[in-house]
Every structure is written in C-alpha cells, then in structure tokens.
Amino acid sequence: MAPTLGRQPGEAVELERVVGPSGNLAIRGQQFWLGPARVGQLVRFWIDCDMVHLSIGGTRVKTVRSHLSVNDLAIVVAQGAVPSGPPPLPATLEPGGVVQLERAVSRFGSINLGGRKFLIAESLGGRQVGIWIEGPTLMAFDLDTRELLRTGSNPVPLEQLRGLRRVRPAGPPLR
C-alpha cells in the first residue's frame, strides 16, 4: 500500500471510535478494554508501531504497547485515520518522572520488579494491579477504577526503572 501524500510508512496516526456496549474496542486485532462505564464515549487513538494512547475528552485514559505493524497502520489510514501530531506522552523516562506498569500480585502478596520480589499486600494476592512509581514512593492501584490500594517505599532506582518490562510514563492521576 502506498503512503499518503507526505506520510512515511509506520508514522503515527490518529482516529476516533465510540465505545460499544461491551466496553471493549479493537483495532486490527488489538483489543482495548475501557469498561462498561465508558459505553458511548468517543475515544481518540494515537497509534504508532510502539505505543497506543487513548484519550477521552482531551484526557489520556490509557497507554499500552502497540501490537500494530506498518501494514496495519497503512490499512487504518486507508480506512480514514489521519497523520498525528506528537505523542501525548514522552517516549523516554525523565529523572524524577512518574511511571506506571502492571503486575500480577502473587498469592503471597508480592510483585516482581527487575528480578526481585517486593511485598505489596497479601490481601491483593491473585490480582492484576497497576504500579505507580513517583520518586521514593511506590503505589499499587486498581487498573479499572485507578483507586489507590496500597502505598510503600520505592525500592527501584531510576536506572533500573528504564529496564523494567512494560514500564511507561504514568497515566491519569490516581483516586
């Protein structure tokens, strides 16, 4: 497929979709769970081959790794996506920056960060939680509601944060 005028293959694109009754959206096979509370809302997608940012009403609500290829992006452009501006989040972690990631809490209440186990809360055992790291503070939060569940000290230095899997700049503030 030929690129559109002035656009290189694989460059970021934007498009909008309305959240359906299931609370789930999909683009070229990649699914995005937004939940039933978001049904009927208009979601703006910023997509490249590395990241997907979802915004509602100008506020970014989710950022995930992209599973889309250069060919997938060409197809969504052919279906009406437009070239995008800069991403809503910086691509690199800054010193003192706030980051988040997702982890499964073991049945004993711990998570794994950088090959080391850290106790979060035994009561959260078996749950998938968000981890928000801001300077010396580590917070566990509910991924659907963004409600704060636990707070503790951050055991991971900045240079190690960059190497953690699925770490990204933080999303909207926690409740």
Q: Give the pLDDT confidence of 5-45 residue by residue, as tens digits.
A: 455 667 899 999 999 999 999 999 999 988 888 999 999 99
**DSSP3 helix / strand / coil % (the chain, rounded to 5):** 10, 40, 50
- pTM, 2 dp: 0.55
Note down the domain range covering 113.
98-169
Please state whether beta strands 148-153 and 137-141 pair in parallel, antiparallel, or not at all (unpaired): antiparallel
The CATH number of the domain holding residue 147 is: 2.40.50
Indicate whether 5 belongs to any domain: no
- Tell me whether residue 64 is in a domain: yes
Nearest to 133 by CA among 115, 113, 116: 113
> What total of structural domains would you count in the chain?
2
Residue that finishes a domain, picked among 57, 83, 109? 83
Output the pLDDT for position 22: 94
Whether 89 maps to a domain, the answer reads no
